[in-house]
Amino acid sequence: MTTATTALPVRRALTRTARDRRRSFVDRFFRVLSLLAALLGVIPLVAILVFVTLNGIKALNLDLITKPPRALGIGGGAAGAILGTIQMVGLATLIAVPIGILAGVYVSEFSGRRSARVIRFAGDVLVGVPSILVGIFVFTFLVLPFKQFNAFAGAVALAVIMVPVIMRTTEEILRIVPGGLREASLSLGVPVWRTVLSVVIPTGLAGILTGVMLAVARAAGETAPLLFTALGSRLINVGDFGRPMDALPLFIYTNARQPYEALNEQAWGAAFLLLVFVLAINVLVRFRTWGRRAG
């Protein structure tokens, strides 16, 4: 009797120890599995950065940045593409920012629950629409009627891509603004529109700007919409949005397909410039986010 009574706690302790070992093994296994999955997610990014940098930095020179394209790429550069990207992305930003921010403000502050759900769903769908379909849509309305590829159509296509990103970011940022700020303003007799304009938007301004920068980074790398709208040009076009205009993605796409080594090298150099631009925007976004957290 005494032996059986003494053996029972021992068996329980051994069982508990075996269970703890099994749990510890499963925990370590899934930790390692998660680490491997994280590494597999990071490796493509690192590979792209290294591959583009090694190939692009060799082709980077002053001529690439300051000179227009020439036949076979001899002595030419991507100045027209750089200026075209700045102009079209800049115009697209001017179009998309007011629309995206106002739409986000409406969904967050003024719309009913049902209409907000519909607009939010439409924004999510538009984010996932392939960019080439956006290009075909804009081509139908802004290129075919005028029988002329033009930079304005390219900027509109980029703006269509940017609007849902800015709208959803603005909405999410405004939703996390403390409700007490709104209530304090309204309790002082301030109208709702003035509360939104003077209290809510300034409070979430850093997050809204972050969404705008992310949208700009996405638009700067789009190629498919510009193939149907701006088309590209071997000439430098400054300020004439009624004619075709080049852009860095178009320059890369065109030169990478050519059977000449000089043009292929220029494509790598332009790819490196575009990569640096997008990385700079993302680093700036992270810097602003870290600054807000530290504050």
The pLDDT tens digits of the residues spanning 217-240 come to 999 999 999 999 999 998 899 999
Is position 34 within any domain?
A: no
Is position 49 within any domain?
A: no
CATH of the domain at 168: 1.10.3720.10
- For 256, the domain range is 81-294
Q: In whole angstroms, give the CA distance from residue 212 to residue 162.
A: 8
Is position 3 within any domain?
A: no
Is position 15 within any domain?
A: no
Is position 39 within any domain?
A: no
Is position 32 within any domain?
A: no
Instruction: State percent of the chain over pLDDT 90.
Output: 65
Kindly report the pTM of this predicted structure. Answer: 0.87
Judge whether residue 36 has pLDDT over 90: yes
Task: List the structure tokens of 87.
Answer: 């102009």
Is position 282 within any domain?
A: yes
pLDDT mean across residues, the chain: 89
Listed as own residue / partner, the contacts of 260-264 with beta carbons closer than 8 Å and 24 or more positions apart are 260/72, 260/73, 262/72, 262/73, 262/74, 263/72, 263/73
Is position 24 within any domain?
A: no
Tally of domains within the chain: 1
| Higher pLDDT among residues 237 and 290, named by residue | 237
DSSP designation for 72:
G
